[in-house]
Amino acid sequence: MTTFRELGLAEPLLKALTVEGYEVPTPVQELAIPPLLEGKDVLGVAQTGTGKTAAFALPVLQAMLAERSQAKRKIRALVLSPTRELAAQIGDRFAAYSKELDLRHLVIFGGVNQNPQVRALRRGLDILVATPGRLLDLVGQGYIDLTEVEFFVLDEADRMLDMGFIHDLNRIQKLLPRQKQTLMFSATYSREIRQLAATMLHTPTEV
């Protein structure tokens, strides 16, 4: 059986996984982590409950570890989620896996007062987990700079399409640097998802 160590994960992450009680990688983790650590774009078809959050969070954290942190934090990873519940869950996972790391994350979503989010943005962060509408809103107000993003994750992309976020996704993509690693996860492998992948991903590994 493959271990997390054999997948190439670094020591601080292995420690966090032991604390979480994860013994072996799930199938989506086993398939997605190696190409992601190599810097490839990945299209992952996986349902909730398969361990897909760790499949993208661990390689993103590892890549961010490898680079010396700058004097001032800047958003280097952007994770988009269709709903606030999912965004909060993703934030919880990043918190668990990065306890020992000097990386800060923030979760933002709509339907709540923006002021606490704006204050947190001003303090600086490395990883932003967001729903599309509030993200664009705060970008428009000048509180968020996405020009340094190196990792772009679209989680539950099929639900984002179902919820009518396609125009938001296209707008967000235009705000990101051309040179970046993109990860897209979807529960379905529909024609729409393949079309979206064709516009968002660069020669992706499909898992």
Type of residue found at 129: V
Greatest CA span in the chain, whole angstroms? 50
Closer CB to ligand AMP, residue 146 or residue 158?
158
Q: How far is the CB of 24 from ligand AMP (least distance, A)?
A: 6
Q: How far is the CB of 177 from ligand AMP (least distance, A)?
A: 27
Q: Which stretch binds ligand AMP (CB under 6 A): 43-51, 119-127, 165-173, 184-192?
A: 43-51
Q: How far is the CB of 63 from ligand AMP (least distance, A)?
A: 19
143 binds ligand AMP (CB under 6 A): no
Among positions 45-74, residues that touch ligand AMP (CB under 6 A) are 48-54
CA distance 11 to 145: 31
- Residue 105 · residue 98 · CB < 8 Å: yes
Closer CB to ligand AMP, residue 25 or residue 59?
25
- Residue 146 · residue 175 · CB < 8 Å: yes
Closest CA to 196 of 172, 178, 170: 170
26 binds ligand AMP (CB under 6 A): yes
**Total number of residues that touch ligand AMP (CB under 6 A):** 11
Among positions 6-25, residues that touch ligand AMP (CB under 6 A) are 22, 25
Q: Torsions phi, psi of 105, nearest 5?
A: -125, 160
Closer CB to ligand AMP, residue 18 or residue 170?
18
111 binds ligand AMP (CB under 6 A): no
- Residue 54 · residue 22 · CB < 8 Å: yes
CA distance 72 to 102: 13
Q: How far is the CB of 19 from ligand AMP (least distance, A)?
A: 11
Q: Which stretch binds ligand AMP (CB under 6 A): 42-50, 130-138, 143-151, 176-184?
A: 42-50
- Residue 143 · residue 121 · CB < 8 Å: yes
Any alpha helices (H) in 124-202, and if so which ranges? Answer: 132-140, 157-162, 166-175, 191-200
- Which spans of this chain sit near ligand AMP (rule: CB under 6 A)? 22, 25-26, 29, 48-54
